[in-house]
């Protein structure tokens, strides 16, 4: 598989989940106090943008662990 710079690496595995992921990102940004807005967010620092993604991943892992353990915590 070649990695050419023109490819879209931001493709969703489940395109139908796109809107839910956008809402999730907004929710997480709000929770951690990052001023995320619709459209362009190039004015965010790398730390701010990274904190949104990191917190999203943390929440998704926690949810999956709960499901795998058969419990709702």
Binned at pLDDT 50, 70 and 90, residue 1 comes out as: very low
Domain parsing of the chain, residue ranges: 15-34+44-69
Question: Sign of torsion, CA 42 9 2 46?
Answer: positive
pLDDT tens digits, residue range 36-70? 999 999 999 999 999 999 999 999 999 999 999 98
Tens-digit pLDDT profile for residues 9-42: 678 888 889 999 999 999 999 999 999 999 999 9
**pLDDT given for residue 31 in this prediction:** 97
């Amino acid at each position: 598989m070649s990695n050419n710079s023109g490819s879209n690496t931001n493709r969703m595995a489940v395109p139908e989940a796109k809107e839910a992921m956008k809402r999730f990102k907004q929710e997480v940004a709000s929770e951690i106090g990052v001023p995320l807005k619709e459209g362009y967010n190039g004015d965010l620092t790398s730390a701010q943008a990274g904190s949104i993604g990191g917190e999203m991943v943390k929440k998704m892992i926690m949810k999956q662990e709960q499901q795998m353990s058969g419990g709702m915590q």
